[in-house]
Amino acid sequence: MQGTLPLDPTPKEATQLTLQSLLVKYKNELAEKPDSAWAWYLYGDTLLALRRPDEAVPILRAAVKLAPEIALFRYDLGLALYDLEQSEAARDEFASIVSDDPQLKHAWSNLMIAAMTNLALSQEKLGQRDEAIQTLLPAMDTALGILFNLGFIHFQAKRVEAALPYARAAYVLKPNNEDVVHQYGAILNELKRHKEAVKVLTLATELNPSCASAWYDLGLAHVGLKHRKLARRIFIKSLEVDPSRQMPYYDLACLDALEGKRDSAFGNLWKAVERGFRAAKYMQRDKDFSSLRRDARWKEVLETINRLENSKN
């Protein structure tokens, strides 16, 4: 029998193997030093890196209890709580850290970025400009994260104009980051800048063809440009990627209603309802459905949505 050569692990697999090895090591160290805050932290931090936040939380709580003054312990605990969607508890952990220096005036609050900046400026004075750029590049991800999240929070709060400059800046920094590109395109869509949105969202679908929401937003941009046939194909593509989504069915129903396809429109509306659509008031205000309102099925859909929503409450 011919043997097979062993395959080298992928970088991701190698990282997992390293973390698993560290987990065993830190678990043993914790057994030897149960009074050591750092032993608890290192074990909890490794669990968190392995995406096991439910196990990490009690371990990190023990570390915080032993050494509450160490912000790093509270930070990791906040991350674990956030991953478990315990948002209020996570907020409180992060707030306890931020309250020490909310304006980042203390040197230790941003010491590494400050050191990198001054190292780069020193290199520039010495004529080492390429080295200076390489020194500062790792800080780009920090800048990107801040800009992206400021844009995201404004966008979620329906302050779209305020979100735009942050989203645009993040896009300039990382034009090939799928999340950044998608968010920028979605904001352009909300501002009815549909031509720009089509260009940006097309790039988002190229960067991540398996992102159903990027396909859906691209469909909306084409609707805004009255490209209904193309929008229909893109909404269908979104559903091919993720058949559980409700809004592509809703918007297919809108297109059907505008084209006088009543049976198809109600069929797609029912599919949206089956997948969780409950915004009855939004649907009632939607002008695309003007041709459906005198149909007996319109009332039936609305009553079903209201009944399902009330049963949930």
Q: Where in the chain is the domain with CATH 1.25.40.10?
A: 14-99, 140-312
For the segment 103-112, what is each residue's pLDDT rounded down to a tens digit? 767 766 677 7
In terms of Cα–Cα distance, which of 313, 236, 251 is closest to 282? Answer: 251
In degrees, to the nearest 5, what angle opens at C-alpha 193 toward C-alphas 166 and 258?
135
Would you say 67 and 43 are in contact if contact means Cβ atoms under 8 Å apart? no
pLDDT at residue 126, rounded to an integer = 94
Q: Compute the distance between CA of residue 134 and CA of residue 80 in angstroms, rounded to an integer.
A: 32
Neighbours of 134 (CB within 10 A): 12
Which pLDDT belongs to residue 269? 97
Write the DSSP symbol of residue 117. Answer: H
pTM, full prediction: 0.78
Q: Which residue has the tokens 């149960």?
A: 34
pLDDT at 1: 37
Specify whether domain 14-99 bears CATH 1.25.40.10: yes
Distance CA 47, CA 50 (A): 5
Fold type of domain 140-312 = 1.25.40
pLDDT in tens, 215-242: 999 999 999 999 999 999 999 999 999 9
Regions in the chain scoring below 70 on pLDDT: 1-9, 104, 107-109, 313
DSSP letter string, 150-173: HHHHHHHTT-HHHHHHHHHHHHHH
